[in-house]
Amino acid sequence: MKKHHSFYAILIVLMVACAAMMAVAAPSVTERIDNLLLQMTLEEKVGQLNMIAPLDAESREASRADVRNGKVSSYIWFETDAKKRNDYQRDAVEGSRLGIPLLFANDIIHGASVTFPIAPWLAGAFEPELFEKAARVAAEDTAAEGVNMMFSPMCDIARDQRWGRVAESCGEDPFLASLCVAAQVRGIQGTGNWERGTGNGVAACLKHFVGYSAVTGGRDYNESEISRWSLENLHLPPFRAGVDAGALCVMSSFNTYDGVPAAVNRFLLTDILRGELGFSGFVVSDWRGVRETIDWGVSGNAADAARAGLNAGGDMDMTGGCYAEALAEEVKAGRVPMSALDTAVRRVLKAKFRLGLFDNPYVDENAMSRLRAAKDAEWCALAKECAEKSIVLLKNDGILPLRPGYGKIALIGPFGDNENEMRGCWVGHGWDHGVVTLADSLREIYGERLTVVKGCEVLETAATRTLQDGTVVVDEHAGNGERGTGNGERGIDEAVAAAKAADVVIMAIGEHAGWTGENQSRADLSLTGRQQELFDRVSAVAKRKIISVVFSGRALSINKVWDDSSAALSAGQPGTMAGAALADLLTGKAEPTARLAMSIPWGVADCPCFYNAPTTGRPYWGKFRDREENRQGARFPFGFGLGYSTVEYGWPWVYDGKACVNVKNTGKRQTTETVQLYVRQNVCRDGARPVRELRGFKKISLAPGEEKVVDFKLVDDLFAHRNRRGEIVVNNGKYTIFIAHDSKSGNPLVVSR
Ligand code: GLC
């Protein structure tokens, strides 16, 4: 008996001890934030809303005093030196009064050290899980440098190919873009439990909120004139998907909506983003976006801008310094409620807690080199898979796939052996990672039978950039491998001679990467430099044996290249493994499966050019007076892409609540077909809906001669749209369904619901 008494006595003591521990359990994140807010001075609160990007070593060093004085919340971190990053972090955590950690952010858009294909082409793989994997690699890679937030995914819907930033988007279709955005958020943020800050320590930042891609004339930084109808049904869906996927941050855009710059637009940043989308993270302006409301003539000075930005729901001021300069005074004067300031600070602190920065503020300074050494081969293999699945075969008269035993091959053009052009625009930290060019890979296959001739430069004059302060500098990443040149010998005669002597010519041509991305709108969608002259001279002697590989950050309208080439591929900016992927595709070791996520227009006059347009009241009129009648719509439409086999679609039918179609491989090679489901609402009293909208897709594999029935359940989502209050509407009535190879083909099936 006695023994039992002591057992129960011990049990009771243990239970009491546990209860006591529970009573003093670690404070919750909310309690820790409340506790900090109570201690923070007005200046320290304002400091938490200040993101800086000192552009040179001297100003970076000088900023450390501001960090120690609690005036800096976050850096846009251009460095790759983890030790330096920890030194700056130590200034905040150990050198400032309250020890609030810094958040380090950077533009990691399509890879950090290993570069993946740019988004419009990776979206064309029609494989969002691939995007997730690539984003995951980029996040792991950049986290090892100590960066805690990536300014991606870019969620803008790209319809105007004149706008350079189509190069960052997931294309022109909101359904596909939404899937790709959500996949990137999952990849970047991982699936850790954010409430306890155990996520993988990197935040996604959805940008640019919202409507930026609709800038007038495709001219960057311009006003955007969009309606609530297109806001709800075209521009918001990818942001909804990103918010639903748990993105921690949203970046406001440079453009106006309804006349008001997004950085100070309360309707967008509060009513829509928080009220309608339910976003609970923090909002950061785009670069100087708050201060630039003065340039817009919407704010009179920094105080106006700071007040407008915070009252609109803009929590953090990126590099504009308006909040740092004027917000405290606005609060003291009662023009900004302290409660509004506290709300913004709370959101920022919550993000830092959820990123684990309070409990683990430092990064292992050897992590990056260790990780890259261990993972580089795996990352490059993924980059190659992404490139293979994103390069689109547009034309092939049978010259492809190349037989390994081919005689003499001439690789002509300034993109054939050019690492920088393969990396593309917005290269994170990929400058230091080698790139496999097309010449590298073809040499391995064809050895001495390969002749490589540049023919001309990517640009005929050195590319320059204009910095924020107006100074003009040579673009160090321009030119052709040699940084900063652009002038170089013109070897067009040499190229023509090589073409004459070859059995087949591979042209590697395109658009200079330095002319793509931000602040790179173009009035013409042509090849850059003298490349068209090069192509014309070569094709004059090598007709019917030219394969053109076109590298670009946007859809180019180069009809003579498409017409005169025996085969043509749109390669985008394929990244680190460009050459390896292209060589496998050209020789048939890999099957071309990619599709266009961005329409290719006949000409710049067609911009903005996209498939998901309404019929208009006169669908057969409204053409250009000075153009051939048949050049309407896109030269190559959204969803288009060829393989090395041929595929036929039957007529769709409905069975058991599903739309079905027969798909047959009528060629001689195994193929992968991306079967696309499009829907049109025949009559919609809410507003004119597009002639087609992508609402589903399935990638299927077909052996030669094999046919499969592919079906899509007719669920409400297929037919839904949003009204002008952002509510989902599913009307009854007639809909036309297409299950097709691309957005222009397929047989119609009318269904009623
Ligand atoms: C740039 C871009 C934005 C980028 C930010 C930080 O101006 O608009 O996409 O993330 O500034 O570099």
> Half-sphere exposure (CA, 13 Å, Cβ side) for 630?
0
The CA 598 to ligand 1 mean position distance, Å, reads: 22
The whole-number average pLDDT for the span 50-78 is: 95
Region 82-108 average pLDDT:
97
Q: Compute the distance between CA of residue 239 and CA of residue 247 in angstroms, rounded to an integer.
A: 9
What one-character DSSP code corresponds to residue 235?
A: I
Ligand 1 close to Cβ of residue 288 (< 6 A): no
- For residue 26, the model assigns a pLDDT of 82
pLDDT tens per residue, range 448-468: 999 999 999 888 776 677 777
Of the pLDDT bands very low, low, confident and very high (cuts 50, 70, 90), residue 193 is: low
Catalytic residues: 286
Report the 3 state secondary structure along 375-442.
Answer: HHHHHHHHHHHHHHCCCEEEEECCCCCCCCCCCCEEEECCCCCCHHHHHCCCCCCHHHCCCCCHHHHH
Lookup result for tokens 């995951």: 136
Burial of residue 556, with CB atoms counted within 10 A of its CB: 0-12 exposed, 13-18 middle, 19 or more buried:
buried
Question: Cα dist. 685→230, 614, 682 in Å?
Answer: 15, 13, 10
CA nearest to 170, candidates 218, 116, 223, 219: 116
Radius of gyration of the chain (CA): 28
pLDDT at 21: 58
What 8-state DSSP symbol labels residue 116? P
3-state secondary structure 120-150: HHHHHHCCHHHHHHHHHHHHHHHHCCCCCEE
Q: Is the pLDDT of residue 486 over 60?
A: no
Ligand 1 probe mutation, 251, 255, 426, 468, most atoms within 8 A of CB: 251
The phi and psi torsions of 75 (rounded to 5 degrees) equal: -115, 140
Q: Is the pLDDT of residue 1 over 50?
A: no
CA pseudo-torsion sign 357, 359, 365, 368: negative
CA of 205 to the centre of ligand 1 (A): 11
Which position has the token pair 């990126």?
Answer: 318
Cα-to-centroid distance, 320 and ligand 1 (Å) = 12
The tokens of 178 are what?
Answer: 């939404």
165 pocket-lining for ligand 1 (C-beta < 6 Å): no
Yes or no: say if 181 and 209 are a contact pair by the CB < 8 Å rule: no
Distance from the alpha carbon of residue 224 to the mean position of ligand 1, in angstroms: 18
Banded model confidence at residue 25, pLDDT cuts 50, 70, 90:
confident
pLDDT for the residue 642: 98
The pLDDT confidence band at residue 631, using thresholds 50, 70 and 90, is confident
pLDDT in tens, 271-325: 999 999 999 999 999 999 999 999 999 999 999 999 999 999 999 999 999 999 9
Residue 485: what pLDDT? 47
Say how many Å lie between the CA of residue 195 and the centre of ligand 1. 28
Helical spans, DSSP H, in 232-276: 237-244, 266
HSE-up (13 A, CA, CB side) for residue 186:
15
Element (H, E) at 6: helix 2-23
Which has the minimum average pLDDT: 95-99, 211-215, 491-495?
491-495
Residue 142 predicted with pLDDT over 70? yes
pLDDT band at 599 (very low <50, low <70, confident <90, very high): very high
How far apart CA 276 and CA 265 sit, in angstroms, is 15
- 671-704 residue pLDDT tens: 999 999 999 999 999 999 999 999 999 999 999 9
Give the whole-angstrom CA distance, residue 93 versus residue 70: 10
To test the pocket of ligand 1, the residue of 51, 109, 286, 468 to mutate (highest count of ligand atoms within 8 Å of its CB) is 286
Give the model's confidence band at 726: pLDDT under 50 very low, under 70 low, under 90 confident, else very high: very high
Average pLDDT on 645-664 reads: 97
Kindly report the protein residue whose alpha carbon is nearest to atom 1 of ligand 1: 287
- Supply the pLDDT for residue 17: 64
Assess whether pLDDT exceeds 90 at residue 608: yes
Enter the pTM of the model: 0.94
Ligand 1 lined by 212 (C-beta under 6 Å): no
Lowest mean pLDDT among 182-196, 422-436, 520-534: 182-196
Mean pLDDT of the chain: 93
Nearest CA to ligand 1 atom 8: 286
Those residues with Cβ within 8 angstroms of residue 314's Cβ, 6 or more apart along the chain or in another chain? 252, 263, 264, 269, 283, 284, 285, 290
CA dihedral 131→136→138→142, nearest 10 degrees, is 160
Give the whole-angstrom CA distance, residue 674 versus residue 745: 13
Q: Of 699 and 491, which is predicted with more confidence?
A: 699
